[in-house]
Amino acid sequence: MPGFLLHVGATVLCAHGGQAQATAPNPRVRLSGQPIVTLSAPHTVAGCPFSTPGGPMPCVTAQWTVGAIRVRASGTPVLLQDSQATCVPNGTPVNIVTTQMRVRGQ
């Protein structure tokens, strides 16, 4: 599905509200002056409050599983507003809350 491309300024949260940030954005392609994010770059998650009866199990990283089909940067699919990721170690999804609204991809 088409969607807006993600850049490092996009707001990405784990399912519990922790802030996810790209670890290795693509430095060669920029949107609104900010580097875009590709499928291969995991996100680190900070401030996840998730806890289980056995103890805390907060989201630490988010690994992307679905990216763009047609748009690539340096040979790697870019991330779109509808891309999907799984948090490690608990397997919960992420929510893409806001992104730039100028460039779409598929």
Q: What is the pLDDT of residues 3-55, one digit of tens each?
A: 999 999 999 999 999 999 999 999 999 999 999 999 998 999 999 999 878 88
Q: What is the pLDDT of residues 65-80, one digit of tens each?
A: 999 999 999 999 999 9
State yes or no: pLDDT of 1 exceeds 80. Answer: no
Which domains are seen in the chain, by residue range? 3-105 (2.60.200.60)
Output the DSSP codes for the chain: --EEBPBTTSEEEETTSPEEEESS-EEEEEETTEEE-BTT--EEEE----EETTEE----EEEEEE--SS-EETTEEBPBTT-EEEEETT--BEEEEE--SS-EE-
